[in-house]
């Protein structure tokens, strides 16, 4: 990836033209504010209504691409989006509603146990197991453990062969396999997404694969949040700005 300079403030994206767009949306930090604990994010009438309108006007060319489990995405979005790539693309629900899941890595239990040892030091360190495909250590409530969390995750990745996914105040070890960009490319290869201009909206390092994918297909990446090193060519300053931009198209 040849990312843009961290100091560059990205221009705002142009208004969406829904008749020409295939829209891919991250969830946390994009459609919903980041919460101290993952389970604290819940349904929101404004967000659900917006996604329902988008799905209709896009004629199904809408997908949520998230690190959360499929069940968690459906809980937060009240099941209003059919096409979902969950656990960074390891679980995919296609436009027909069929679900495809990557077989879990045999060393996930070892990784979960390793994270649990570190998390036992402080109740603010949270271990999240994602449907047997991934395990994450959240340290947002205990930032003083950032270095220890990173060291632990890297050591476990080396010993287990699991893929290390570093996010916003979280270290995640996941079954090797598809990433968010792979999920975008898979959706774009089939109806109703095929032939449209893809747009990916996301906020953190895990979304860079999505930005790269849509831009390689002639589309645009839109990064949500303060300026930082990114593949995206456009930017919105936060969740409220992202929701307002999407609402303006509906």
Q: pLDDT per residue over 91-131, tens digit each?
A: 999 999 999 999 999 999 999 999 999 999 999 999 999 98
Q: Find the distance separating the first CA and the last CA of the chain, reported in whole Å.
A: 33
44 among known catalytic residues = no
Structure confidence at residue 7 as a pLDDT band (50, 70, 90): very low
Catalytic residue among 26, 72, 204, 207: 26
pLDDT of residue 185: 98
pTM: 0.92
Here the tokens at position 67 are 């690190």
Average pLDDT over residues 4-14: 73
pLDDT of residue 166: 87
Tens-digit pLDDT profile for residues 11-69 = 999 999 999 999 999 999 999 999 988 899 999 999 999 999 999 999 999 999 999 99
Tens-digit pLDDT profile for residues 177-207 = 999 999 999 999 999 999 999 999 999 889 9
pLDDT of residue 229: 86
Distance of CA 137 to the CA centre of its chain: 16
pLDDT of residue 6: 45
Tens-digit pLDDT profile for residues 152-176 = 999 999 999 999 988 889 999 999 9
Structure confidence at residue 243 as a pLDDT band (50, 70, 90): very high
| CA 91 – CA 85 distance, rounded (Å) | 6
> 79 pLDDT exceeds 90?
yes
Structural domains of the chain ordered from first start: 18-102+178-248 (3.40.50.1000), 108-174 (3.30.70.1020)
* Average predicted confidence (pLDDT) for the chain: 94
pLDDT of residue 3: 53
- Residue 91 sits at the vertex; the CA angle it makes with 83 and 23, to the nearest 5 degrees, is 30
> 5 pLDDT exceeds 70?
no
């Amino acid at each position: 990836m040849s990312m843009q300079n961290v100091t560059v403030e990205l221009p705002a994206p142009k208004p969406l033209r829904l008749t020409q767009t295939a829209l891919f949306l991250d969830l946390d930090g994009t459609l919903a504010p980041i919460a101290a604990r993952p389970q604290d994010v819940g349904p929101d009438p404004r967000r659900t209504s917006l996604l329902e309108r988008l799905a209709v006007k896009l004629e199904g060319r809408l997908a949520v691409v998230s690190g959360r489990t499929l069940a968690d995405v459906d809980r937060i979005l009240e099941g209003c989006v059919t096409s979902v790539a969950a656990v960074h693309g390891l679980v995919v629900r296609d436009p027909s509603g069929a679900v495809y899941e990557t077989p879990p890595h045999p060393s996930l239990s070892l990784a979960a146990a390793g994270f649990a040892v570190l998390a036992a030091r402080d109740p603010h360190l949270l271990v999240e197991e994602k449907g047997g495909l991934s395990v994450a250590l959240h340290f947002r409530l205990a930032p003083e453990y950032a270095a220890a969390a990173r060291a632990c995750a890297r050591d476990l990745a080396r010993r287990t062969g699991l893929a290390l996914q570093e996010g916003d105040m979280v270290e995640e070890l996941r079954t090797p396999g598809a990433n968010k960009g792979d999920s975008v490319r898979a959706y774009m290869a089939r109806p109703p997404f095929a032939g449209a201009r893809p747009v990916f909206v996301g906020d953190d390092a895990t979304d860079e694969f999505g930005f790269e994918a849509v831009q390689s297909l002639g589309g645009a990446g839109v990064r949500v949040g303060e300026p930082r090193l990114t593949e995206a060519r456009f930017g919105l300053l936060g969740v409220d700005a992202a929701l307002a931009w999407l609402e303006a198209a509906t």
